[in-house]
Amino acid sequence: MWNPLKTKPLLDFDWVRENIPSRSQVEYTPDFMWLERHEWCLIFFYDEMMSNRRLYEKFIKEDSLNLGKAFTNSCDWSLWKKKLGTETFPIALEGADRVYSGPGISSVKLNRMDPSKVTQGILGRIKGEVHAIRPHIFWKELDKHYLNGVDFTRQRVSVLIPYHIRQGSQTIDHNEFIQELRVWMYVGNRDYWINQLDGGLLYSPVGAFKPKIKWIDGHDIGTYYHYSRLEYDTNA
């Protein structure tokens, strides 16, 4: 059975000798050698890298497998978007201590997820997808795209993956369960982004949603951020 978490027992030095990149190629991937010890790596996407979205086919389609929807385990996230028309993208900030400041706008403290304060910025979970990808995608594509270590930092986070028990194509238990996993995620560098948030001119909070089922397997999902197709389409 294919296992996306399978790890090679030893580094494949023959492969490295034939394919080792130059220093400039791994400028944004200091953990290149560690990544290449794995056949597959798990990563949480919350932006246009999600399946069948704008960047999916360009960067990861040929070397990835979508393992399904997921939510960040932590509720201490805010999700913003930089409004650039068709190039708009979301930015996940962890535990930010203010929303924005700008002309005529005072700094606003972030609050725990409260749907009535969505326009002010809030703290909560983020919904996205978990993918298994080949490790070379990090240093060849993703770390450069996200400017790992500059604009974003690729870090390990805990995510919750809801699932049903199936037998073949049949769902045999309609209760929904949760699998917790540690995965990679590109998180916005607070020092880089926090002073750019302007309260709606170039940056604004991503939309928040209420779950249809509030409790899943003992977890209170709560209101969450999700960078939906509709939200992207309204940016164009």
Higher-confidence residue of 213 and 140: namely 140
Q: Is the pLDDT of residue 8 over 60?
A: no
Given this model, what pLDDT does residue 173 score? 59
Is residue 29 assigned to a domain?
yes
Given this model, what pLDDT does residue 201 score? 83
Residues 6+ apart with CB under 8 A from 180: 73, 158, 159, 160, 161
> What are the backbone dihedrals phi and psi of residue 92, each rounded to the nearest 5 degrees, phi first?
-90, 125
pLDDT band (50, 70, 90) for residue 72: very high
pLDDT band (50, 70, 90) for residue 215: low
Given this model, what pLDDT does residue 132 score? 97
Is residue 18 assigned to a domain?
yes
Higher-confidence residue of 9 and 82: namely 82
Mean pLDDT of the chain: 80
Is residue 90 assigned to a domain?
yes
Is residue 3 assigned to a domain?
no
Residues 6+ apart with CB under 8 A from 213: 176, 221
* 52's tokens: 């069948």
Is residue 2 assigned to a domain?
no
Is residue 36 assigned to a domain?
yes
Is residue 7 assigned to a domain?
no
Of the ranges 24-33, 117-126, 146-155, which one carries the lowest mean pLDDT score? 117-126
Given this model, what pLDDT does residue 198 score? 78
The CATH number for 53's domain is 3.10.490.10
> In percent, how much of the chain has pLDDT > 90?
47
One-letter amino acid for residue 131 of the chain: H
8 A C-beta contact, residue 139 and residue 29: yes
Nearest to 60 by CA among 152, 163, 143: 143
Of the ranges 6-15, 21-30, 153-162, 193-202, which one carries the lowest mean pLDDT score? 6-15
The stretch 161-165 carries a mean pLDDT of: 76
Nearest to 186 by CA among 157, 156, 154: 154
Rounded Cα distance between 219 and 214, Å, is: 8
Rounded Cα distance between 228 and 48, Å, is: 9
Given this model, what pLDDT does residue 231 score? 86
Host domain of residue 47: 13-233
pLDDT digits (tens, 9 = 90+) for 103-125: 333 334 444 444 333 334 578 99
Q: Is the pLDDT of residue 157 over 60?
A: yes
pLDDT band (50, 70, 90) for residue 172: low
8 A C-beta contact, residue 61 and residue 150: no
- The strand pair at 64-72 and 125-133 is best described as antiparallel
Is residue 1 assigned to a domain?
no
Given this model, what pLDDT does residue 211 score? 79
Cβ neighbourhood burial of 120 (10 Å; 0-12, 13-18, 19+):
middle
Given this model, what pLDDT does residue 234 score? 79
Q: How many domains are contained in the chain?
A: 1
Residues 6+ apart with CB under 8 A from 81: 88, 89, 90, 91, 203, 204, 205, 206, 227, 231, 235
One-letter amino acid for residue 43 of the chain: I
Residues 6+ apart with CB under 8 A from 35: 29, 41, 135, 138, 139
